[in-house]
Each structure stands twice: as C-alpha cells, then as structure tokens.
Amino acid sequence: MSLQNKKIVLGITGSIAAYKAAILVRGLVKKGADVRVVMTPDATQFITPLTIGTLSKNPVISSYVQDHDQGIWNNHVELGMWGDLFLIAPCSANTLGKMVQGICDNVLMATFLSAKCPVMVAPAMDLDMYSHASTQSNLDILRSRGTEVIESESGELASGLEGQGRLSEPEHIIDHLEDYFRTANSLVGQRYLVTAGPTYESLDPVRFIGNHSSGKMGIAIANEVAKRGGKVELVLGPSSIEVKHPNITVHHVNSAVDMYEAATSLYDDCQVGIMAAAVSDYRPKDVSDQKIKKADDSITLELTKNPDIAESLGAKKRSDQKLIGFAMETENLLKNAKKKLTKKNFDLIVLNSLKTEGAGFKHDTNVVTFIGQNKTREFELKQKTEIAKDLVDEIISL
C-alpha cells in the first residue's frame, strides 16, 4: 500500500466538518500510515482530542505547552520535520488567511511554518465563504507557493444551503494521498522547460501590446512537475502570481524576444519542453523612447513578426526530448491544432477554446483536448491544477 509507514501530520481546524476527521484518521491508520494530529483550540470545540488520539494511537497536540509545572512544551519544529506530508483537513477560511499571511497564533500554524515536508489543504466552509474573492485569492497564493489544494466538494452544507464548500469525503482525500505518494518521486532526475503567462510588446515607455493570460496554467504545470520531484526552468511572462517551490527556477521575461532567448538557451538541458505561454505573434517595428502624445484621431502602427519559440524548439528537438504545445482557437479547432502539431514538431498539443464558460484566460478552470500523433483525448471542465496532473501523466506515458 502506498500509505504504508508514511508519516502524516494531520491538522484539524475549527469547522463543523471536523467530525469527519475521525473517519479520515481511522482510514489513514487502516492504510498503514503513522498519523500525528495537531488541532487548533477551536477544533477541540467540534471534536475531542480524546477521540482523535484514540483513533490515531498517538497523543494529540492542541497547545504549545504540554506540562506547565514541568516546563514541557510541544515541539512543533520537530513535528514539522518528522512528517512525510502535512495535511490540513478540514481547513477553515480563517486558517487559509493565516497561512497566506504567516500569522502564528496557535500550534497548528507554528507547525505549518516549521514544516519541511509538502503541505496539502482540504478547505471546508459555506459556499459564500468558499466563493468569496479573498478565499479564492488565498487558495491561489497557496497553490503558487507549492501547497496542494484538495478541492471542496458540492452538496448540502451545514447552513442548509447547497453548493461547493463541503470537505472532500475522507475516502476521496485518502485516494488523493495515495495518488500523491505513488507519483511523488516519479520525475526525480528530469528537467522540464515550461513557458507561462503573456508577453508584453512595448509601444513606448508606458504602453504595450499584450493579452489576458494570467500564467495560471503554466504555473500549475510547473508546480505539478516540481511536486513529482522534477526540476523546472519556468520562463514566466508578466504575472502577479507568486512561485515559490524550491524545485522551480523562475526566469522572468517581458517580451516575446526575451522569452525566445531564454527558452532556446534552456531547452538543450531539458528532457521536456511545455509551451504554455500566450506569446505575442507580432511586436511594434519601432518603439518610441518617449511617451507617444495624443494628436490625431487615429494612429497607425507597423508591426513586425516575433520569432516562433515553439517552432524553433521543434526544429532543434533531439530524439531524447519531448515538446508539448498549447493552442487556443476560436474556429476550426481540431483542424488548426493538428496543423500546429505537425508544423512545429510537437509530440502533443493541448487545445483549448475561448467559447466555453469558465475556460480560457484568468479562470481557475479550463476545457482541453489532448491531441497526439495517433490519439485524441477530450476532457470536461476541470481545475487547471487537475489538468496539469493529466498532462504530466500523459507526457510520462509518451
């Protein structure tokens, strides 16, 4: 079993879903995991440490001090170094905010900030709290720092409302952990080149031509490769997303030419290249040194073609390398994507469309089709983090 002898630190926060932690602990122990639990003070109002301690077969930590009279403290640093994985389930909106800000006001947060192992969170809250911009922003920030999010599920909530926000069912969380440990070191020794985000083509010192790409898809791919032990050279166009995983080296660029120079210099030392960036096809032929003043009712810009990064890499690709492309189309989707597959010497191309609600630029979700030399796989709308897993699995199968 993939969880046999795995050391799991389980954090439980103040949520009505804390009752499910008992089922989760029991399931992990039955799978052979060694489970040690740390609870916030509020979590103990929902389920007792005695229950969790009995099921985990280990003492539960819920405060900094173990014995006031003898001066014995609960060593959160040691706990953070002990685990193979730190899972916070359920993770409340309050704890999500503290994790982002680094607020250390309880022993669970002290353990999180001390953790040397990978961290996962399974959020649980009411649907309006879950969908709130601040909660979604916090989840995005945690993902960019390498924290894996086990998505909340939809259904009846404690408030009586229906919607997303339910803690993922314990058996689903256990499946997720088994999948993680199955793939955790599968890419050790591999180096991936990933391009992500937009490019900005300057008109003058203050204006540019660009696009709406956020970089979310490429960053999700980089994080997935890194979580599996691979090293990533991430060539990232202008993006507000923070990338912190130690296996990822970020090369910040602005223009298509900048991205071309970085990608072509890095690809030789990589086994796989994934071209997820939204690169400008053209740039202004002449860039003004000064801000262009408003004068006439119209202005004419002469554009010149940018180098094609993917085609250049495809031309130099060795037999021991793979190259993956992305295509965003608005018409003749499959036909145009297959043309790119051949023209640019891709091993696989990921097709996505702007026509589906919830897909495309800036969304956390997308709808994609994998198009290979001999097969095509269509996927339903799903989180970009899940698409990243599917893509890395597909690349490994190549």
Question: What average pLDDT does the segment 99-119 reach?
Answer: 94
pLDDT at 69: 60
Hey, what CATH class is 7-183 in?
alpha beta
Number of other residues whose CB lies within 10 A of the CB of residue 161:
11
Sequence ranges of the binding site:
281, 291, 326, 340, 344
Sign of the C-alpha dihedral computed for residues 178, 184, 187 and 193 taken in this order: positive
How confident is the model over 141-189, as pLDDT tens digits?
898 788 999 999 999 888 888 889 999 999 999 999 998 998 888 899 9
Q: Is pLDDT at 364 greater than 90 in this prediction?
A: no
Classified as helix, coil or strand, 394 is helix
- Among 58, 94, 211, 345, which one carries the catalytic annotation? 211
Question: For residue 266, which of 361, 195, 207 has the smallest C-alpha distance?
Answer: 195
| Cα angle 90, 96, 101; round to 5 | 155
Q: Where are the domains of the chain?
A: 7-183, 191-397
Cα Rg of the chain (Å, integer): 24
Fold of 191-397: Rossmann fold (3.40.50)
Query: Would you say 214 and 237 are in contact if contact means Cβ atoms under 8 Å apart?
Result: no
Residue with tokens 């090293």: 231
Task: List binding-site positions for CTP.
Answer: 281, 291, 326, 340, 344
Count Cα neighbours of 231 within 13 Å in the Cβ-side half-sphere.
Answer: 10
Number of residues assigned to the chain = 398
Query: Is the predicted pLDDT of residue 120 greater than 90, yes or no?
Result: yes
Using the structure block, give the residue that is written with the tokens 């696989």: 348
Cβ contact 357:367 at 8 Å: no
User: Could you give the dihedral angle defined by the CA atoms of residues 7, 13, 17 and 20, in that order, rounded to the nearest 10 degrees?
Assistant: 20
Give the mean pLDDT of 304-328: 95
Q: Calculate what percentage of the chain has a pLDDT beyond 90.
A: 70
Distances (CA, A) of 322 to 36, 136, 191, 272, 377: 42, 34, 11, 5, 18
User: 360's torsion region: left (phi>0), alpha (psi -120 to 50) or beta?
Assistant: left
- pLDDT value at residue 66: 67
Domains 7-183 and 191-397 share a fold: yes
pTM of the model: 0.79
Give the separation between CA 363 and CA 64, rounded to whole angstroms. Answer: 40
What pLDDT score does 330 carry?
67
Q: Residue 106 catalytic?
A: no
Pairing of strands 272-275, 322-329: parallel
Summarize pLDDT for 46-88 with one digit per residue, the tens. Answer: 999 999 999 999 999 988 776 666 667 678 888 888 999 999 9
- The percent of the chain in helix, strand and coil, each rounded to the nearest 5, is 35, 25, 40
Say yes or no to pLDDT of 362 above 90.
no
